[in-house]
Amino acid sequence: MIISGCDIETTGLEQSEGHRIIEVCFRLYESDTRELVNDYITRINPQRPIDAKAREVHGISIDDLVSEPKWEGKVANSVRNVMGASDVLVAHNMNFDGPFIALELARVGVEIPNVATLCTMAKGRWATPLGKNPKLSELCFALGVEFNPDEAHSAVYDVDKMMECFWAGLDRGFYTLPEVDDE
C-alpha cells in the first residue's frame, strides 16, 4: 500500500476569493517498510498577490514565485498523477488541503483521483488536554517528535513532521488506516 503525506501552502484561505496553491509537497511511502519511494515538491506561481496574513505564516512572497511554474498543465497533471499513485492521502487538516487541491484540479479541468484520506488533525484530538484539534506542534509534542517552529509552514517540513507523527500514532494505535479498494 502506498501512503502519501501531503501539505500545501496558499495565497490565502478562501478559494471563493480566488486564492491559489503556491507550494505543494507529496511524499509517498511503502506502508510495510515505511520507505520513501517517491515525492513531488514544487512551488507554484499563483498569478495573483499573496495575502499579508498568509505571507506571515509561511514566509513566501510573490517575488519568490515569479519564475515558478503555473498550476495549469504540468503541475496539475503531476499532482493528479501522484495522488492517483496513492492508496491513502494523509494530511494535517485534510478539510482544508483536500478540497483546496480538488478544486484547483477541477478549476483547470483535471480529473480528481478517488483516494482514501486520513487527517492527523481530526483524528488527533487525543493529543490535546481538552480534545480540540491539535496544531502540528501539539501533535508532535504529544508523540515526542521534535518540532522547530522556525521551520514550520514549509510544505516539506510539515509533511516530514506530520508523517513522523502518523507513523508513531499508527504504532501506538491512535491512527487506523482507512479501508482501500484493491481495484
Check residue 182 and give its pLDDT. 60
Q: Any idea which fold 2-171 has?
A: Nucleotidyltransferase; domain 5 (3.30.420)
Check residue 161 and give its pLDDT. 97
| Tens-digit pLDDT string for the chain (183 aa) | 999 999 999 999 888 888 999 999 999 999 999 999 999 999 999 999 998 998 888 989 899 899 999 999 799 999 999 999 999 999 999 999 999 999 999 999 999 999 999 999 999 999 999 989 999 999 999 999 999 999 988 999 999 999 999 999 999 999 999 887 665
Query: Environment class of residue 17 by beta-carbon count within 10 Å: exposed (0-12), middle (13-18) or buried (19+)?
Result: exposed
By DSSP bridging, strand 21-30 and strand 35-43 are: antiparallel
In total, the chain counts a number of residues equal to 183
Give the three cell numbers for residue 183: 481495484
Contact 86, 115 (CB under 8 A): yes
CA angle at residue 10 from 7 to 15, to 5 degrees? 110
Check residue 178 and give its pLDDT. 87
**Side-chain half-sphere CA neighbours of 61 within 13 A:** 2
Q: What does the H/E/C string look like for 72-118?
A: HHHHHHHHHHHHHCCCEEEECCHHHHHHHHHHHHHHCCCCCCCCEEE
**The overall pTM is greater than 0.85:** yes
CA angle at residue 137 from 179 to 97, to 5 degrees? 50
In whole angstroms, what is the distance from residue 11 CA to residue 116 CA? 26
Contact 54, 10 (CB under 8 A): yes
Check residue 105 and give its pLDDT. 97
Check residue 85 and give its pLDDT. 96
Crossing angle of helices 76-84 and 94-107, rounded to 10°: 130
CA 152, 158, 162, 163 torsion: positive or negative? Answer: negative
Q: Domain ranges for the chain, please list them.
A: 2-171
Check residue 183 and give its pLDDT. 55
Check residue 16 and give its pLDDT. 82
